[in-house]
Amino acid sequence: MTDFSHIRGKITMDRPLADLTWLRVGGPAEMFFQPADKDDLQSFLKALPLDTPVFAMGVGSNLIVRDGGLKGAVIRMGRGFNHIEVQGDTLRVGAAALDSHVARKAADAGLDLTFLRTIPGAIGGAVRMNAGCYGSYVADHFVEATAITRAGDEVLIGADELQFAYRQSTLPEGYVLTEVVLRAASADPETLHEQMEQQLRKRDETQPTKERTAGSTFRNPAGFSSTGQVDDTHDLKAWKVIDAAGMRGATLGGAQMSTKHPNFLINAGGATAADLEGLGELVRKKVFQTQSIELHWEVLRIGEPVPQK
């Protein structure tokens, strides 16, 4: 029997996860842990049997948890990991700090991380998936990160180890990011805030921001984010090839591809994780059949399906 009596954070068994994801779907976590701080996280991982899988969860913005739930331990970072400290031209940021908060705090200090303003989620997830938009990526600003290994040891990670690529990195299995250092160029604070306001207005005009979504569903086949520039090409954008395949507005159960932006999966009401993932797979199949283009998921899908009776 594992002894967690020294743990200060909260451990919950069979904790439902649907209410913690933006899509509001998914089964329970076998074990759900909210660490009090970094030392508490280390103590927990050291006590947890090494053969127990670990998944670090942010705010659930880019996530489909399957209906059968998640085996092992889900770790959700909270207030002990959301600090944002400006240090010259860098920011030292807790993994749970929201991308939008980091962008605003940076702008207040005259540092340009405006690309983060419209990206849903927290910095830990942004590093893991090398989040980006308007032609900028986390990799462009990344200095280093601190993580706790599966064995409970604290390590420093450089960009070389993460091997950043479009919408991905190679964070070692079982590592839990706790802090990230980002570097940014200087700019006028007022200009930066106005730029972010323009980005928000454009996002609200073109994306279903009032719906239950998980952000962009698939990576752009072109292999890069939108630049936001007038001459930006849309030929190999995910939304464009989905639209061309006739899948704008397509439905499966309670899931729908947005009519406003066809690269957004929506829980239109009562959707299961199986509905959402199934519709995504139908979209991938139709795009390949019609255009010989293979779409790759950007939304992370984890957990177990409900066993068939």
Residues that are catalytic: 167, 216, 298
How many Cα atoms within 13 Å fall on the side-chain side of residue 101? 14
Alpha helices (H) in the chain, listed in sequence order: 38-47, 99-108, 123-128, 159-162, 189-206, 238-244, 273-291
How far is residue 235's CA from residue 3's CA, in Å, rounded to a whole number? 56
How many Cα atoms within 13 Å fall on the side-chain side of residue 147? 23
Asked whether 115 and 126 are in contact (CB, 8 A), the reply is no
Residues forming a β-bridge with 300: 63
Q: Give the number of other Cβ atoms within 10 Å of residue 49's Cβ.
A: 8
Contacts of 203 (CB under 8 A, 6+ apart): 118, 209
How far is residue 270's CA from residue 220's CA, in Å, rounded to a whole number? 28
Question: Positive or negative CA dihedral for 115, 125, 138, 230?
Answer: negative
Cα–chain center distance at 251 = 24
